[in-house]
Structure 1
Amino acid sequence: MDDHNFDASFEYARQLDKHDSLAAFRNEFYMKEGTIYLDGNSLGLLSKRAEQSLLELLDSWKQFGINGWTEGKYPWFDLSERLGDSIAPLIGALSEEVIVSGSTTTNLHQMVATFYEPKGKKAKILADELTFPSDIYALQSQIKLRGLDPDDHLVRVKSQDGLIIEEDDIIEALTDDIALVVLPSVLYRSGQILDMKRLTEEAHKRGILIGFDLCHSIGAITHELHEWDVDFAVWCNYKYLNSGPGSVGGLYVNKKHFGKSSGLAGWFGSRKDKQFDMEHTLTPAENAGAYQIGTPHILSVAPLIGSLAIFKEAGMENIRKKSLHMTRYMMDLIAYYLKDQGFTIGNPMDDYRRGGHIYLEHKEAARICKALKVNGVIPDFRTPNGIRLAPVALYNTYEEVWNSVQILNQIMREEQYKQFENKREVVA
């Protein structure tokens, strides 16, 4: 694949698919006939392997009852740790630094409760104004719990254009009153990748701890969290990792912090050999498992077993290479076929700054998304005027990318969108 060649023809799309080394993985997923699914950045599709591992875990409950905690193909008791070991290569972490647990927001609460230690003047948390709202709610809540005012103690770095957060602006905001930084690895709207390595170095120079929300990057881009010395990270597993709606999330804690007491303690943070001693003094695990809280939701963890097996076979470097090529190809098609239709591309054009999705802006975005769905293309609307389109390397094809742009062009030329209200649905 050569990023510098572009051919707008359908035949070229067919040729790209013919030479796609990851093409066989599409057969692993359930694809609805007549539908082009471009919303894998919100919820990944079900794979046959994820379905199988879910059924296997369901069967272990049927076969073993309570003994499923220690018996069967996937004993439940240490499943979170073993899956952490499987996820670690995707984020460049040591296996003991990763645990599958909780959800993005509960894990963020845990990390902030653990690492936010306001002392004197150094008492503020730094975030950004474009981050996902749930992260802001959690940060505001943690500040309030310490008797402080979020209006004073939560600093949000401004965007210069409403799409991108400049690293220089973040670094400028790393003043001596900042105690903790929490940022997205990839901005959920524009798909911008923040330079995690640079930001971690700059935060640490100033004695500030830093963590990242990886929801829109895990499974889409490569990471080196341990090498970059990132302090902590949280994420969900149901977007690019295809583990099912509301499935159990994950967290990373840098090994250097092992032994630090969890801010929100629970019995699954126990050392495994002590957990069932039922003592009222917690003996925490000596790894990232210490930051678990409650019993893992086994049936919501189960699909991740099958999903991660696919990632291991495909290879994260290969997935990232194809993802970048597909988004570049889609942007070229949009520029070629939709140049007079009022669209602007809001995601970064540079490969090193672009995550796994395309972000289009249009004043009629909400109703355009509705028209796309009627025509069998599944996009993702983001208020007020954004359309996210994610050609996912493991299951989307170049032919689908080409066809989706043709459908969008037809919708615009025929003004099909005008039959819909320009207002988001309950779940956008």
Structure 2
Amino acid sequence: MYGIDYAKGLDDKDSLAKYKEEFYLLKDTIYMDGNSLGLLSKRAEQTLHSLLDSWKTLGIEGWTEGDNPWFYLSESVGEKMAPLVGGTTSEVIATGSTTTNLHQLAATFYKPTGDKTKILADELNFPSDIYALKSQLTLKGYDPEEHLVRVTSRDGRFLDEADIIEAMTDEIALIVLPAVLYRSGQVLDMERLTAAASERGIPIGFDLCHSVGAVEHALHDWGADFAFWCTYKHLNGGPGSVAGLFVHDKHFGAVPGLAGWFGSKKESQFDMDHTMDPAMDVSAYQIGTPHVLSLAPVIGALELFEEVGISRIRAKSLELTEYMLNLLHVELFGAGFVIGNPVDESRGGHILLEHEEAARICKALKAEGVIPDFRAPNGIRLAPVALYNSFEDVWHTVQKLKVIMDEKRYEKFENKRGVVA
């Protein structure tokens, strides 16, 4: 099962193999970095050109005319994303960026009163989320060092849901957690955590940046209060593409923490009244004008997810990463690597390899035509993406890594990350 013929046989039986042709693959390169930036699809390119053409041919009339009227674009793209997060079409919108959306949601749901003043996060979360939460605490007049509680990891890789629940004390006013840990790829049990938070009357939200488009969610049914995510990783929306935001409909009618013109009801937005008339669904959480040209490729990118379905994508993702784990165990046992991700189905869409020479190994992989992702201090992330990576890609990646280690080709490189890792 470890030879190239076996990998080709798996590809022959793969019902998603044809979608590889939908993407612009890098020449003579195996791309294993889709969990940082997904590749451009032909459909995303088409919708980008289509929106450019609407500006070119319609001018200001593009706000209400054309195939994708700009005035309703955030809502219509949100509707396309809703099945990927398990939200209703009125609960999901495409707007802002990951961090601006977190600021909006924290400003809305963080309501300190009495001794209930602290925000619960974790020590393994992506730094940007922590920066935003500290900023929100400072704006409310609280010391972040005292009022930001971060659940510690027992091993530096994973979080234990029991530890998180234990930290949900009477002092906690808000909980923000990652759905998938960006380094180890651990998928947290969001349903369990949401139920625990709800029992204690604490609003809880999730960062879906490393889960959306790779794993399945049921945010509405779980009762999660909110969520936020980017669209340029597994969703292939392009660098800096517009992010996504979910708010459970049980909160509709509440006033958003940060008000902006595009959060108004559509029918009254152009009344120019200085008293805001907020929308009665997730649209209220918009702050500014839709970034039309950054939304454009997301439209086409999401067509593939509508066509394939997230359950099929998740199934293939698990098969790809399982195959990679098996190959790594056989081919690179004793080479100094440690598997840093869960080996069961609580893993997300990437594999984490830890090695003291990780930065040099990543550079060597690039020299051999494989694009990995380095995460300090010693992490190599490899993401075989279901829509454009094959089992043969996985086989070749592991074989190239084996040669690099056997021949110590990494030694010609400096063990130091680049500016963008």
Give the TM-score range, shorter chain. over 0.9
Match of 1:327 in 2: 321
| Amino acid aligned to 1:166 | D
Match of 2:399 in 1: 406
Inter-partner Cα distance in structure 2 for 1:105 and 1:91: 18
Match of 1:88 in 2: 82
Whether 1:157 aligns to 2:151 is: yes
| Amino acid aligned to 2:32 | L
| Amino acid aligned to 1:375 | E
Whether 1:192 aligns to 2:194 is: no
Task: Give the 5 Å matches for 1:81-160.
Answer: 81-160=75-154
Inter-partner Cα distance in structure 1 for 2:195 and 2:318: 26
| Amino acid aligned to 2:186 | Q
What is the CA distance between 1:366 and its match in structure 2? Answer: 0.3
Task: State the TM-score, normalizing by the size of structure 1.
Answer: 0.98
**Structure 1 residue corresponding to 2:207, chosen from 207, 213, 223:** 213
Match of 2:270 in 1: 276
| Amino acid aligned to 2:363 | K
Task: Give the 5 Å matches for 1:250-329.
Answer: 250-329=244-323
Aligned residue for 1:211, secondary structure, equals: strand
Match of 1:419 in 2: 412
Inter-partner Cα distance in structure 2 for 1:238 and 1:276: 32
Give the share of equivalent positions with the same residue, in percent. Answer: 65
Inter-partner Cα distance in structure 2 for 1:328 and 1:401: 10
Match of 1:356 in 2: 349
Inter-partner Cα distance in structure 2 for 1:277 and 1:186: 43
Aligned residue for 2:150, secondary structure, equals: strand
Whether 1:383 aligns to 2:359 is: no
State the aligned residue count: 421
Inter-partner Cα distance in structure 2 for 1:139 and 1:248: 21
Inter-partner Cα distance in structure 1 for 2:54 and 2:300: 15
Aligned residue for 1:387, secondary structure, equals: strand
Match of 1:177 in 2: 171
Inter-partner Cα distance in structure 2 for 1:337 and 1:268: 54
Match of 2:15 in 1: 21
Inter-partner Cα distance in structure 2 for 1:180 and 1:204: 11
For residues 325-382 of structure 1, give each alpha carbon's deviation from its aligned partner in whole angstroms, at most 9, with x where no partner exists.
000000000000000210010000111x110000000000000000000100000000
For residues 250-272 of structure 1, give each alpha carbon's deviation from its aligned partner in whole angstroms, at most 9, with x where no partner exists.
10000000011111100000000
Unaligned runs of 5+ in 2: none
For residues 74-99 of structure 1, give each alpha carbon's deviation from its aligned partner in whole angstroms, at most 9, with x where no partner exists.
10000110111111011110000001
Aligned residue for 2:70, secondary structure, equals: coil
Match of 1:50 in 2: 44
**Structure 1 residue corresponding to 2:161, chosen from 167, 180, 190:** 167
For residues 392-425 of structure 1, give each alpha carbon's deviation from its aligned partner in whole angstroms, at most 9, with x where no partner exists.
0000010010000000000001101001110100
Match of 2:336 in 1: 342
Unaligned runs of 5+ in 1: 1-6
What is the CA distance between 1:69 and its match in structure 2? Answer: 0.3
For residues 50-82 of structure 1, give each alpha carbon's deviation from its aligned partner in whole angstroms, at most 9, with x where no partner exists.
000000000000001111001111100001101
| Amino acid aligned to 2:403 | Q
Inter-partner Cα distance in structure 2 for 1:315 and 1:176: 40
Inter-partner Cα distance in structure 1 for 2:344 and 2:172: 31
Inter-partner Cα distance in structure 2 for 1:194 and 1:410: 35
Inter-partner Cα distance in structure 1 for 2:53 and 2:201: 50
Moved over 3 A (4+): none
